[in-house]
């Protein structure tokens, strides 16, 4: 029997730098304790609603979710890893696409 301990909307309060004094990561969607190699994992949940009205030539399922996941990684991964936490962007779209890190 294994238990997974989590906290929703956990406040992590990682700072961008000692002189800035502000958090780089809002409360994380789900904080999973001891999940990745014994490190806590900050899971950022992002639901994407792709634009309606695009032509089929302009639209690829998952493109907006991939961009969102990439943006979240660029914004938060360094702060998490610098504080001994893993960062997992759980990005998905309304067509059922899951970004690779979510899988």
Largest CA distance in the chain: 50
Task: Give the model confidence (pLDDT) of 33-68 as tens digits.
Answer: 998 888 999 899 998 887 655 555 666 778 889 999
Confidence of residue 98 (pLDDT cuts 50, 70, 90): very high
Q: What is the pTM of this model?
A: 0.73
Confidence of residue 79 (pLDDT cuts 50, 70, 90): confident
Q: 3-state DSSP call for residue 59? A: coil
pLDDT of residue 61: 79
pLDDT of residue 15: 53
């Amino acid at each position: 029997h294994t238990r997974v301990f989590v906290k929703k909307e956990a406040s992590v309060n990682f700072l961008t730098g000692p002189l800035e004094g502000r958090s780089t990561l809002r409360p994380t969607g789900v904080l999973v304790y001891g999940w990745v190699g014994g490190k806590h994992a900050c899971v950022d949940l992002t639901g994407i609603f792709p634009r309606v009205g695009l032509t089929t030539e302009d639209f690829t399922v998952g493109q907006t979710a991939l961009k969102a996941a990439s943006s979240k990684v660029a914004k938060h991964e360094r702060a998490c890893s610098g504080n001994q936490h893993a960062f997992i962007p759980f990005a998905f779209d309304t067509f059922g696409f899951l970004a690779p890190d979510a899988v």
